[in-house]
Amino acid sequence: MLERHVGRPHAEEKINNFTVPLQRKKQMLRPWMKIMKRLASGHEYEAMSDEWVAKQGESQVMYNHGMIRILPDGWIYPGTAPKFLDKIQEFDFRQEDVLVMTFPKSGTTWMQELIWTMFHNPNLDNPQGDDKLWNRSIEISLDMMFDTQRVEELNLETLIEVLRKVSPGKNEEDGLCLQLIEALPGRRVIKSHYPLDLFPADILDRTKVVYVARNPKDMAVSFYHFMRVVKIYDYKGSLEDFVKLIMNNELVFSPYWPHVKQAWQKRNHPNLHFVFYEDMKADIMAEMRKLNDFLDTSLTDTQLKNIVEHCSFSSMSSRGEPVADRLFNKHLQETSGGFFRKGRTGDWKNYMSEELNQEMDKWIKDNVADTGIPFKWGD
């Protein structure tokens, strides 16, 4: 039992009848303590243990400042995430902005390009449309990833020079991507892999959100290939191990289910448009007409059809990767595909063993039962 002694010059406490200085007491209790910190949003977070980080580092590149878990949902992020998440609470979102929000590898790039083109290149005559999507539709959740132990692969000096040009006097340590987004003119199309819950509580009253969900089996296979081919991740494990990291909520950007469920629960909000990747693949024009209404872009069917063709998988892949080529493992890019790999639905059937498929089925059933989310599984 601890007895607190108040008013002493040097705070002390009794532990098992021994009086010890407070600082020494903290050291003694540390093995049994979880040191919790708090975000500006009110969420608590904790550092992942050195042992956990070392275990993850056996199969993938880690981060200079370790990793954290944000509660209560358990988001796994690099250790610099709290700094940038706090800044997002103060970020000036505009009514004309659109947040394209997804769990990774769920159709983000396709949706970004479609919406950016609807806003800024509806007649396909804007020369800026030839620029990298990375520069036109910036990811608000990317700053934390620059803590990678392979940061040299990112060549951040180029981005820093752009920031100095468009926003003189800004400090890149306050968030390269955040500040580059601030400087974007017109209707901004902002990418996010952060979930709704980590944005300001009134985000849906301040701006529009387009949320894209993809069935978790195809998402997992696509994410696996992506983390293998991109050098800042350099994942070396098996598909089975990777899928189990997802199911056990131990992969960066995890957990998957709260991410989707939070958006699904808000699907009837007038400023949130929830769309399934599989529906886009099945009837893209039907989905484009819904987007046209949601975004108030008032485009004609002819314009929408031209945009669809311009943003098709074959057209986008022929224009090259949306990010710098230097980020990719060239051998894997040539043998397994790069950022644009297949763009199919149901491709998981070509990769998953029956045993792994059954494990995923149980995981999905356990998590979907109370939601009614109508996932589609491909041909």
Q: Is residue 173 part of a domain?
A: yes
Greatest Cα pair distance in the chain: 82
Give the up-direction half-sphere exposure of residue 206: CA atoms within 13 A in the CB hemisphere: 13
Q: Output the pLDDT for position 328.
A: 57
CATH number where 194 lies: 3.40.50.300
Q: Is residue 30 part of a domain?
A: no
45 CA to centre of own chain: 18
Q: Output the pLDDT for position 165.
A: 87
Taken in order 264, 141, 38, 36, the sign of the CA dihedral is positive
Q: Output the pLDDT for position 327.
A: 62
Q: Is residue 350 part of a domain?
A: yes
Cα distance between residue 318 and residue 180, in whole Å: 27
Q: Output the pLDDT for position 7.
A: 38
Q: Which residue in this structure is represented by tokens 């099945």? A: 282
Contacts of 35 (CB under 8 A, 6+ apart): 46, 47
Q: Output the pLDDT for position 135.
A: 86
Alpha-helical runs (H) found in the chain = 22-29, 50-56, 81-89, 108-120, 133-136, 156-166, 176-183, 203-206, 216-229, 239-247, 256-265, 277-282, 284-295, 301-310, 313-318, 330-336, 354-368
Q: Is residue 308 part of a domain?
A: yes
Both tokens of 40, joined, read 């500006």
Cα distance between residue 365 and residue 357, in whole Å: 12
Cα distance between residue 151 and residue 117, in whole Å: 31
CA dihedral 84, 90, 93, 94 (to 10 degrees): -150
Q: Which residue in this structure is represented by tokens 């904790």? A: 46
Residue 46 identity: E
Q: Output the pLDDT for position 87.
A: 96
Q: Output the pLDDT for position 33.
A: 45
Q: Is residue 295 part of a domain?
A: yes
Domain tally, the chain: 1
Q: Is residue 123 part of a domain?
A: yes
Structural domain for 207, as ranges: 94-368
Q: Which residue in this structure is represented by tokens 């540390």? A: 30
297 CA to centre of own chain: 26
Cα distance between residue 320 and residue 279, in whole Å: 25
Q: Output the pLDDT for position 156.
A: 80
261 neighbors 90 (Cβ within 8 angstroms): no
Question: Per residue of the chain (379 residues), what is the pLDDT tens digit?
Answer: 333 333 333 344 433 333 334 443 344 334 434 678 999 999 999 999 999 999 999 999 999 999 999 999 999 999 999 999 999 999 999 999 999 999 999 999 999 999 999 999 999 999 999 888 888 999 999 999 999 998 877 778 777 888 888 888 888 888 999 999 999 989 999 999 999 999 999 999 999 999 999 999 999 999 999 888 888 899 999 999 999 999 999 999 999 999 999 999 999 999 999 999 999 999 999 999 999 999 999 999 999 999 999 998 777 766 555 455 556 545 544 445 544 445 567 788 888 999 999 999 999 999 988 888 988 876 5
Q: Is residue 184 part of a domain?
A: yes
